[in-house]
Structure 1
Amino acid sequence: MTVATPASHGSSAPRPVVRTAAGALRGSREAGVAVFRGIPFAEPPVGALRFAAPLPVRGWSGVREAVAYGPPPPQAGLFGMDALARDAAGDDWLTVNVWSPEADRGAGLPVMVWVQGGGYAFGTSGLPEYDGGRLAREGGVVVVTFNYRVGIEGFAQIEGAPANRGLLDQVAALRWVRDNIGAFGGDPGRVTVFGQSAGGGSIAALLSMDRAEGLFRRAVVQSMPGTFFSPELAEDISAACAAELGLRPTVGDLSGVAPHRLPAAGDAVGAKSGQWNGRWGRAAHRGILFSPVVDGEVLAATPWQAVSAGAARGVELLVGHTRDEHRLFAAVDGLLGAVDEEQAGSALDVFAPGQDGARRYREAFPAAGPEELYERVHSDWLFRMPTLHLAEAHAAAGGCTYAYELTWPAPGMGGALGACHGLDVPLVLGTLDRGQPAALIGTPPSPEAEELSGRMRAAWTAFAAEGDPGWPAYDTRQRLVRLFDTRPAVAPYPEDASRRIWENHPFSPMPLRQ
């Protein structure tokens, strides 16, 4: 993976300049859109601020150049993200990027703030697939992306540090949007957050956080993970990561460690996480080391608990997932077409809910072979049922809720990946020909892919503008959802058999098993 660089536009038009609370910025103009990259929204969280809550950025004099993405925060090694972070200069990790069709014109456009995923362990806003230019230009919205701390820096439970620092970074970025987006032509009263995977899980957490209240009006949650940790589990995992370095999980011990060494320690623990199956449970089985922690202060409850109690009743919510969420992970693990009965049985025993979950899966899908059962239970536990439960909780609490499922099969890899996890990202952002997701779409993108992307972008921007994506609201009686495929349709939720298996599962904070 490489961080995108600003496109050369060859235009003689003057470069756009805006004035923010901290100082003036000079951006670039690309394909008719004003673009500002690498704007700091908080002080660099290093030195005395290592593992601290983000502090507002100090101002500057003169005009600051805003044409290059800020450096990524330290990254886990998956997809070469660790090298990407090490090769970047500087420690100004906490930066935002803005694409605006109407910068400095007081246009009052809807604002869409993207929160990227990455398993809470990697991810940076400078990846090519997160470019907001097309969505801004064709959708008439201001698009914002930003970095937040991940892995040990952002989510490890460290003695002497606030929990969920990555979530606190997100709140700080949204406060920056509230205070500054008017200068870029955006309306701070019409902010929509949208994000996928860990980005969707982060938004679900924000829905339940008092300190995020009022910072956005609408939210789009795409394929949210169901993993939220208890403090005890998070502390145990953090202790294992620190022990890789011969240290304790305290600010005093870890603050002097070079930033790139911490993700490496996490990767080492992840590679042998199976030895902690008995203590970490499902998290160890999946090698999941970082998730938001229900610590009682930053995050007082899981999103499902908080939303059920009405925490986000006034926020309009669009929520959905892909049909074949787990297929991508099966491919990464070399298991496509290779799952045997023993592996399927083990997956059902570990991940199906309740004491009779495995039996219920086999009864609900009597014709399913080992691979289908393996994929279904993983897809349901990881993303599909957590996402559905958020829609159910929001609708039941009286919130305005819309739901969808992406069923269009990705043409990449001969169609073997189906409608897999992450396929929605290039379709929603319109970045069909760039970054790693381009391999899912195929090069060049087909007219079919372009048409589907256009429909999804139109739905997302309509929701951001007016709160209505163009299909009936979701309720707990009819359960109507929009199916995104070559032929769009509105139908009852397609995964109802799984819904029934999981309907009483609480998705409580994941415990430490003693």
Structure 2
Amino acid sequence: MTVERTTTHIFQTSFGKVIALKNKGVIRAKSIRYAHSERFQKPVAEQPSPSEIIFPDKTPVCPQAISPLVEKMIGPTHLESFDPDESTQYLSVFRPGSFTEHEKLPVIVWIHGGSHEIGCGDLPTSDPSDWVREQQIIVVTVSYRLGLFGFLGGDERPPNLGLLDIIEALKWIKAYTVEFGGDPENITLLGQSSGGDAIAHLMISEGVEGLFQRVIIQSAPLGLRHKRQKMSAEFLKKTESLKDEADVFKMMDEYRKYVPSVIKYGLKAAMPFGIQYGFPPLCKEEESIEKWKTNAKKYDVLIGLNNDETAFYLKTSDALNKYFGKGLGLKIMDKTVQKTTELIYGTPAKIFAENYAKAGGNVYLFRIHSRSEDNPIWAPHCIDLPLIFGNESAWKSSEMLKNIPWKYIDENGKKLRTLWAEFARNGSISDDSERPEILKIQKLSFK
């Protein structure tokens, strides 16, 4: 078998000379800085430079605490591959290696999830190379500030800095994507979990006019967005002592002591970081629904969830499984998964889509199902990631996919990637397009 060697590709752009790598039919220009920032300050756009922009040895990542659950369910974090950086404004461009000059490809912008607290744009489990190769699209992955650095603030410290970072990334993409072969008038935002939450709120943010045309929102916890002001204010006050700490690793160790109590604030305390209404670039919370309705004709929307979202958290808990892992306990567990999935993800997505359709918007609502007897967590949070991104080797240690043949993931994933790319190209999905067996999707319309 012939192994394709990695070669260098150079993009001569007005932003700078970008050194990229070509391998297996995909060109990757990774970790391009689109902005920079000081701690707790708004991002400042990076200016064009005559210097070469070189592929770094390590991936820049916002300082964060390792999640044992993510390590178990998705895969281990190889710390030696990452370089902690408070100013985490980087993006990577993935383009097909085979390309016709003057061709303009649809652009999909990946906004990663992780409860606004963990993750980055460049992880092996969200490497879009398979998708780029199959569908002749461009995918841009975005990293932005998280946690204390990006999603907690108040009157004395700007909130929503992570959201402002993403807006700067979108401005960069709009300005320079054409020089990578992308169509600046055909940009789709794709986000999962808190990335989907961010995208929903970008739709009603100031300063985004003309920066994107479509959105794909997967598993956004929109049920946790309400009445977070008191919780955020308390969390900010308790972590005030950390604001000038020079050691970011100490910050990561310390802030978890002050995470709000779930008992006191309900389910939303399970995601203590988040967008904050009433601060730039967002409106007040009570104005949000009308803002979405007002903007309904601006963006095509594909929104949905996995059928058993909270199984990711509940059915994987050793403590809960001790009492609810079989018999009547398991029936109670399944019912709890169903109810919490609808409360946090399902009902809010349905209401969002119905409001959008009633306001004249073009919107599709989907749900991913699975009932594998070999894998009792079925279709949990994050099951959409291997379907969208493929990359079998990156998922080989995933507990979430245990006993699920990769052939099943791959067959359904290719069909799903085809549908999502179709939506990104033209804002619609044909009735004649082949659906994967795990997907239920409908276009909503109200006459």
Q: TM-score range by the shorter chain?
A: 0.7 to 0.9
Query: C-alpha distance in 1, partners of 2:58/2:405?
Result: 26
> Which residue number corresponds to residue 267 of structure 1?
256
1:61 is displaced (CA, Å) by: 2.5
Gaps of at least 5 residues in structure 2 are: none
Amino acid of the residue matched to residue 388 of structure 1?
K
Query: C-alpha distance in 2, partners of 1:145/1:31?
Result: 19
Q: Which deviates further from its counterpart, 218-227 or 103-112?
A: 103-112
Query: C-alpha distance in 2, partners of 1:126/1:410?
Result: 30
Query: C-alpha distance in 1, partners of 2:79/2:95?
Result: 27
1:105 is displaced (CA, Å) by: 3.5
Q: Per-residue displacement from partner, 1:114-134 (whole Å, max 9, x unpaired)?
A: 111001111112210110111
SS in 2 for 1:210: coil
1:182 is displaced (CA, Å) by: 0.7
Query: C-alpha distance in 1, partners of 2:105/2:212?
Result: 14
TM (norm. structure 1) is 0.76
| Structure 1 residue 319 corresponds to structure 2 residue 303 | yes
1:37 is displaced (CA, Å) by: 0.5
Q: Per-residue displacement from partner, 1:75-116 (whole Å, max 9, x unpaired)?
A: 133136998399626555211011101679432100000111
Q: Which deviates further from its counterpart, 308-317 or 450-459?
A: 308-317
1:146 is displaced (CA, Å) by: 1.3
TM (norm. structure 2) is 0.86
> Which residue number corresponds to residue 485 of structure 1?
437
Query: C-alpha distance in 1, partners of 2:406/2:82?
Result: 34
> Which residue number corresponds to residue 350 of structure 1?
none
Query: Is this contact kept in 1: 2:15–2:176, CA < 8 A?
Result: no
> Which residue number corresponds to residue 346 of structure 2?
384
Alignment of 1:288-303 (within 5 A): 288-302=271-285
Alignment of 1:269-284 (within 5 A): 269-270=258-259, 273-274=260-261, 277-278=263-264, 280-284=265-269
**Count of residues in Structure 1 that have an aligned counterpart in Structure 2:** 428
Q: Which deviates further from its counterpart, 233-242 or 213-222?
A: 233-242
Alignment of 1:49-448 (within 5 A): 49-66=38-55, 68=57, 70-79=59-68, 84=79, 88=83, 93-101=88-96, 105-226=101-222, 227-228=224-225, 230-242=228-240, 247=241, 254-270=243-259, 273-274=260-261, 277-278=263-264, 280-284=265-269, 287-302=270-285, 305-334=289-318, 335-336=320-321, 338-339=323-324, 369-409=331-371, 414-435=374-395, 438-442=398-402, 445-448=405-408
Query: Is this contact kept in 1: 2:109–2:187, CA < 8 A?
Result: yes
Query: Is this contact kept in 2: 1:192–1:217, CA < 8 A?
Result: yes
Query: C-alpha distance in 2, partners of 1:299/1:37?
Result: 30
Pick closer, same or farther for the CA change 1:300–1:181 going to 2, 3 Å: same
Query: C-alpha distance in 1, partners of 2:381/2:55?
Result: 33
Q: Which deviates further from its counterpart, 76-85 or 59-68?
A: 76-85
| Structure 1 residue 17 corresponds to structure 2 residue 10 | yes
1:72 is displaced (CA, Å) by: 0.4
1:467 is displaced (CA, Å) by: 1.1
SS in 2 for 1:16: strand
SS in 2 for 1:38: strand
| Structure 1 residue 38 corresponds to structure 2 residue 31 | yes
SS in 1 for 2:419: helix
Amino acid of the residue matched to residue 101 of structure 1?
P
Query: C-alpha distance in 2, partners of 1:456/1:195?
Result: 15
SS in 1 for 2:148: helix
Query: Is this contact kept in 2: 1:230–1:295, CA < 8 A?
Result: no
1:442 is displaced (CA, Å) by: 4.7
> Which residue number corresponds to residue 477 of structure 1?
none
Higher strand share: 2
Aligned-residue CA RMSD (Å) = 3.1
Pick closer, same or farther for the CA change 1:64–1:70 going to 2, 3 Å: same
Q: Which deviates further from its counterpart, 442-451 or 65-74?
A: 442-451
Query: C-alpha distance in 2, partners of 1:389/1:327?
Result: 22
Gaps of at least 5 residues in structure 1 are: 1-7, 248-252, 345-367, 473-481, 494-514
SS in 2 for 1:200: helix
Query: C-alpha distance in 2, partners of 1:255/1:212?
Result: 32
Pick closer, same or farther for the CA change 1:231–1:297 going to 2, 3 Å: farther
Query: C-alpha distance in 1, partners of 2:271/2:428?
Result: 35
1:159 is displaced (CA, Å) by: 4.5
Pick closer, same or farther for the CA change 1:69–1:282 going to 2, 3 Å: same
Amino acid of the residue matched to residue 294 of structure 2?
G
1:156 is displaced (CA, Å) by: 0.8
